[in-house]
Amino acid sequence: MIEDQPTSPSGGASTTAAALVELCRRTPPPGHDDPRRGSTHALTGPYLSSFRGGGIEFDELRAYQPGDDVRSIDWRVTARTGRPHSRVFREDHEQPVWLLADLGPAMRFGTRRAFKSVAAAEASALLSWWSVESGDRVGGFVLGEDSCVAHPPRGQQARHWAFLQALAKATEPGEAEVDDEDTATVSLNTALGRLATAVNPGSRVFIISDFDGLGPAGRRHLIQLARWCDVRCVLVYDVLEAHAPPNGEYRIHDGSGSQAVTVGGRRPRKDYEDLFHERIEELRQFCQTHRIELMALRTDENPGDVLSPSRSKVGGRS
């Protein structure tokens, strides 16, 4: 992180479970302040399934088909058109929510407010907290410096505490919890493979990462997930990755030590910026092709604001 240090109570080079809980408690779910809005928001609550039936959410009015429940016949439309019509509803279901929080070594970088790993932990905490509050069961994988710790889906805040603790612990340098199944460094691609194996069709999946380590294997796992699940990626990045700083000398620290770095030259700065934006555009096109929603979270932004639906889509350069 380039000095100066962040002054807000959240953020920094690492976080704690208590800080994540406090963030969640002071950040209500999107739409929470409007009681007229249903609980079918993309981030929280019951969802509208792809299965049509006798639920409470109206979907369409169509010509009567053999097998339709006679109680669903719209008699006014039937009388007006002279042909029987049925009102079709979508069934209201709960669904498991899975998160993959990438807090690995490459995420330990940031120049404003927080490291990418901390911003990712905050976003993961909010998404999981909102889901548990709405009654969903939440599970996930926390990808740390040298491990990928699994947390089976749970639906109670008390049990959810373990997931928040794992998020916080993984932001500490050299303090990642070791999973018995892991004997070597775990990549984002490997973690995506474990996620694809664990989730059931119809689950809602959030992947929070900078996606810098996403390779062909990881893309295949994402495609597999997107075929059967509602997949949303949260791209975490720092402003310095998108826009190189002015020429000069900067002091960089990693939470335990620091060193001086010199930035110079117009062409290297432009090449650096172009490389980042080309990578992000490639990721955006990949997600668009496979109907994966891509959200962007900059390290100096409030994750609660960014996860709002009005700010979710990744567009051009920012």
The pLDDT of residue 277 is above 60: yes
Alpha-carbon distances of 192 from 98, 215, 226, 286, 316, rounded to whole Å = 11, 11, 12, 16, 26
Q: Is 286 helix (H, G, I), strand (E, B) or coil?
A: helix
* Pairwise pLDDT comparison (103 vs 74), residue with the higher score: 103
The pLDDT of residue 122 is above 80: yes
Report all structural domains of the chain as residue ranges with CATH numbers, in order of start.
17-34+94-311 (3.40.50.410), 47-93 (no CATH)
Q: What is the pTM of this model?
A: 0.74
CA pair distance 108, 101, nearest whole angstrom:
13
* Pairwise pLDDT comparison (88 vs 50), residue with the higher score: 88
Q: 172-175: which pairs have CB atoms within 8 A and are 24 or more residues apart?
A: 172/14, 173/13, 173/14, 173/108, 173/145, 173/254, 173/255, 173/256, 174/145
The pLDDT of residue 207 is above 70: yes
Q: State both tokens at 232.
A: 């949303």
Contact partners, residue 97, CB within 8 Å, separation at least 6: 127, 128, 131, 136, 137, 138, 139, 153, 203, 204, 205, 206
- Among 145-149, 214-218, 257-261, the minimum mean pLDDT is found in 257-261
Going by the DSSP 8-state scheme, the letter that residue 300 receives in this structure is T
Q: Is 60 helix (H, G, I), strand (E, B) or coil?
A: strand
Give 261's strand partners: 250
Q: State both tokens at 43.
A: 């981030």
- Among 55-59, 80-84, 93-97, 159-163, the minimum mean pLDDT is found in 55-59
* Pairwise pLDDT comparison (195 vs 48), residue with the higher score: 195
Q: Annotate 66-120 with DSSP letters as a single string.
A: TT--GGGB-HHHHHHHSS-EEEEEEEEE---EEEEEE-SGGG---SSSB-HHHHH
Mean pLDDT calculated for residue range 286-290: 96
The pLDDT mean for the chain works out to 80
Residue 291 neighbours by CB distance under 10 Å: 10
The packing angle between helices 157-170 and 17-25, to 10°, is 120
The pLDDT of residue 91 is above 60: no
Contact 58, 87 (CB under 8 A): yes
Contact partners, residue 74, CB within 8 Å, separation at least 6: 61, 85, 86, 87
pLDDT at position 176 is: 44
Contact 86, 64 (CB under 8 A): yes
Q: State both tokens at 303.
A: 């994750």
Contact partners, residue 142, CB within 8 Å, separation at least 6: 101, 103, 124, 148, 149, 151, 163, 166, 167, 170, 177
pLDDT at position 177 is: 45
CA pair distance 248, 263, nearest whole angstrom:
5
pLDDT at position 256 is: 66
* Pairwise pLDDT comparison (157 vs 190), residue with the higher score: 190
- Among 25-29, 150-154, 245-249, the minimum mean pLDDT is found in 245-249
The pLDDT of residue 54 is above 50: no
